[in-house]
């Protein structure tokens, strides 16, 4: 029997409510002094299978504990309420009460149970969350809920980001049709070991809970865990996938073509959002892509890619368009994996610069010109196996220092 073919097609300007059965909205409730949107709500019309991955920071927000507990106790939720501009963490009992009040307010306004509401907060640490502002804005937020509201929600979760991040795709498998969409934020405090930001992905296919839990960890490891902006892991970071079945497509078995197509679509959307987080790193002028090929294992490939992409010396050199491949070699050598220099090849923006333990001749000005482009690829070929991995980062600029020096509580 011939293998069934599936197609995954990008939907221009698609977002988290492109999948059927989801609504969202974003408003300004006054948490941000700038008056920018700072409160987002995502709602599924029916209970959605949900899975999450959260920050590994030992000091984390109470909402992380609450979300973990709810997802362990039940597999379905109806809504996610997110505020930006305030992380609602390190404020003692106040953060617990504020988180529970956020869930209560959303549940009451939507006519659902509090246990069906997950919450997220992002922003300044250690400042009490003004819940009264969320309370006052809740009626207008719920009134604005719309199948077109995903872009509003994408704007409302931003902090130091320069632009919203969103993506959606249409998936066809034979007669089956479903969608995957998502939004994310994150420009600073981004470092592997997820979650590393806020990301919310939806699908109108329905997935067996255990399968979705397996997939979200695998997808996080391949995407958001491979992003570095500044080496800091936040206290509040969250990655959620919601699956509501509004398309009528129900996925129970991983071996089915529909399951393979859905997993690839989820990975595609997550990878796009991860790249955009790196591209929009605080003060960044370019996206840095580190590709490792020919590694003896997947873990070796990942560790090497992460180490090189996170190197401050590599990233400052790239900001200066400096083809200083020695910094790449040095970073690779401290990655904690076994390397054979005589087998190692390095390409910088496509130009071979190191091979067989020796430097390779290259036109310096030509490479400098290539490094000035908005996307730069560093390739390390180990010639020791068939495994590969990709990590994403950005250059490191004086503007990053300025942004974080001026960011105040």
Chain centroid to Cα 188, Å, comes to: 12
Q: Residue 329 pLDDT more than 80?
A: yes
Domain membership of residue 338 (yes or no) is: yes
Indicate if 137 and 31 belong to the same structural domain. Answer: yes
Query: 3-7, 45-49, 52-56, 381-385: lowest mean pLDDT where?
Result: 3-7
Q: Which helix (H) or strand (E) holds 49?
A: strand 39-54
**Containing domain of residue 393, as a range?**
287-406
User: Which one-letter DSSP state was computed for residue 146?
Assistant: B
Contact 72, 56 (CB under 8 A): no
Contact 303, 295 (CB under 8 A): no
Q: Could you tell me which residues come within 8 angstroms of residue 38 by beta carbon, excluding any fewer than 6 positions away?
A: 27, 28, 29, 30, 31, 32, 83, 84, 85, 156
Q: What percent of the chain stands above pLDDT 90?
A: 84
Q: Residue 232 pLDDT more than 60?
A: no
Indicate if 265 and 362 belong to the same structural domain. Answer: no
- CATH number, domain of 291, equals 3.10.20.340
Q: Which helix (H) or strand (E) holds 389?
A: strand 387-394
The pLDDT value recorded for residue 190 is 44
The pLDDT value recorded for residue 188 is 52
Condensed to tens digits (0 to 9), the pLDDT of residues 76-101 reads 999 999 999 999 999 999 999 999 99
Condensed to tens digits (0 to 9), the pLDDT of residues 14-64 reads 999 999 999 999 999 999 999 999 999 999 999 999 999 998 888 899 999
Domain membership of residue 336 (yes or no) is: yes
Question: Among the three residues 228, 255, 279, which one is the final residue of a domain in this structure?
Answer: 279
Among 99, 196, 203, 390, the one annotated catalytic:
196
The pLDDT value recorded for residue 194 is 35
SS3 category, 18: coil
Indicate if 310 and 175 belong to the same structural domain. Answer: no
Q: Residue 290 pLDDT more than 80?
A: yes
Segment 139-146 shows an average pLDDT of 99
Domain membership of residue 46 (yes or no) is: yes
Domain membership of residue 368 (yes or no) is: yes
Domain membership of residue 255 (yes or no) is: yes
The pLDDT value recorded for residue 320 is 97
Indicate if 146 and 196 belong to the same structural domain. Answer: yes
Contact 98, 128 (CB under 8 A): yes
Indicate if 77 and 40 belong to the same structural domain. Answer: yes
Two tokens at 54?
A: 């959260």
Indicate if 68 and 111 belong to the same structural domain. Answer: yes
**Which of the pair, 243 or 194, is modelled with greater confidence?**
243
Query: 223-227, 319-323, 405-409: lowest mean pLDDT where?
Result: 405-409
Indicate if 125 and 182 belong to the same structural domain. Answer: yes
pLDDT band at 4 (very low <50, low <70, confident <90, very high): low
Arithmetic mean of pLDDT over the chain? 93
- CATH number, domain of 267, equals 3.60.70.12
Angle of helix 312-319 versus helix 298-310 axis, rounded to 10 = 60
Indicate if 19 and 62 belong to the same structural domain. Answer: yes
Condensed to tens digits (0 to 9), the pLDDT of residues 392-406 reads 999 999 888 887 777
Q: Residue 195 pLDDT more than 50?
A: no
The pLDDT value recorded for residue 189 is 45
Indicate if 264 and 348 belong to the same structural domain. Answer: no
Segment 244-263 shows an average pLDDT of 96
Indicate if 400 and 368 belong to the same structural domain. Answer: yes
Question: Among the three residues 247, 279, 311, which one is the final residue of a domain in this structure?
Answer: 279
Q: Burial of 361 by CB count in 10 Å (0-12 exposed, 13-18 middle, 19+ buried)? A: exposed
> Which of 227-236 are b and which e, b meaning 16 or more Cβ less than 10 Å from the residue's Cβ?
bbbbeebbbb
Provide the domain count of the chain.
2
Indicate if 299 and 272 belong to the same structural domain. Answer: no
Segment 164-173 shows an average pLDDT of 98
Catalytic status, residue 196: yes
Domain membership of residue 1 (yes or no) is: no
Indicate if 216 and 338 belong to the same structural domain. Answer: no
CA–CA separation, 385 and 344 (whole Å)? 12
Question: Among the three residues 279, 301, 325, which one is the final residue of a domain in this structure?
Answer: 279
Q: Residue 243 pLDDT more than 90?
A: yes
Two tokens at 259?
A: 């399951």
User: Which one-letter DSSP state was computed for residue 346?
Assistant: E
Tell me the DSSP string of 216-240.
Answer: HHHHHHHTGGGB-SSS---SS-EEE
pLDDT band at 234 (very low <50, low <70, confident <90, very high): low
Condensed to tens digits (0 to 9), the pLDDT of residues 266-277 reads 999 999 999 999
């Amino acid at each position: 029997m011939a293998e069934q073919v599936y197609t995954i097609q990008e939907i221009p300007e698609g977002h988290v409510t492109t999948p059927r059965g989801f609504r969202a909205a974003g408003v300004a409730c006054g948490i941000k002094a700038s008056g920018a949107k700072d409160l987002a709500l995502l709602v599924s019309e029916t209970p959605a299978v949900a899975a999450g991955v959260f920050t590994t920071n030992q000091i984390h927000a109470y909402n992380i504990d609450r979300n973990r507990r709810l997802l362990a106790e039940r597999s379905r939720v109806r809504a996610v309420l997110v505020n930006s501009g305030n992380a609602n963490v390190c404020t003692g009992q106040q953060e617990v009460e504020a988180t529970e009040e956020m869930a209560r307010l959303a549940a009451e306004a939507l006519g659902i149970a509090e246990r069906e509401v997950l919450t997220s907060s992002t922003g300044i640490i250690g400042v009490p969350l003004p819940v009264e502002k969320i309370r006052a804005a809740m009626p207008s937020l719920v009134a604005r809920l719309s199948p077109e509201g995903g872009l509003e929600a994408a704007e409302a979760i931003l902090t130091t980001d320069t632009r919203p991040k969103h993506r959606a795709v249409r998936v066809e498998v034979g007669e089956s049709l479903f969608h995957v969409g998502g939004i994310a934020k994150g420009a600073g405090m981004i470092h592997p070991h997820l979650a590393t930001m806020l990301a919310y992905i939806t699908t109108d296919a329905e997935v067996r809970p255990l399968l979705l839990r397996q997939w979200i960890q695998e997808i996080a490891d391949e995407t958001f865990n491979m992003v570095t902006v500044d080496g800091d892991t936040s206290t509040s970071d969250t990655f959620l996938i919601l699956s509501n079945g509004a398309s009528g497509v129900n996925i129970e078995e991983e071996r089915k073509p529909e399951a393979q197509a859905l997993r690839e679509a989820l990975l595609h959307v997550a990878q796009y959002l991860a790249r955009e987080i790196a591209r929009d790193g605080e003060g960044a002028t370019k996206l840095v892509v580190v590709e490792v090929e020919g590694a003896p294992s997947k873990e070796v490939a990942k560790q090497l890619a992460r180490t090189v992409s996170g190197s401050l010396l590599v990233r400052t050199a790239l900001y200066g368009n400096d083809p200083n491949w020695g910094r790449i070699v040095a970073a690779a050598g401290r990655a904690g994996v076994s390397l054979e220099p005589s087998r190692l090849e390095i390409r910088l923006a496509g130009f071979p610069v190191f091979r067989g333990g020796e430097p390779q001749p290259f036109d310096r000005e030509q490479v400098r010109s290539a490094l000035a482009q908005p996307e730069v690829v560093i390739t390390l070929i180990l010639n020791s196996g068939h495994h590969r991995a990709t990590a994403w980062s950005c250059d490191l600029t004086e503007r990053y220092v300025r942004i974080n020096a001026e960011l105040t509580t």
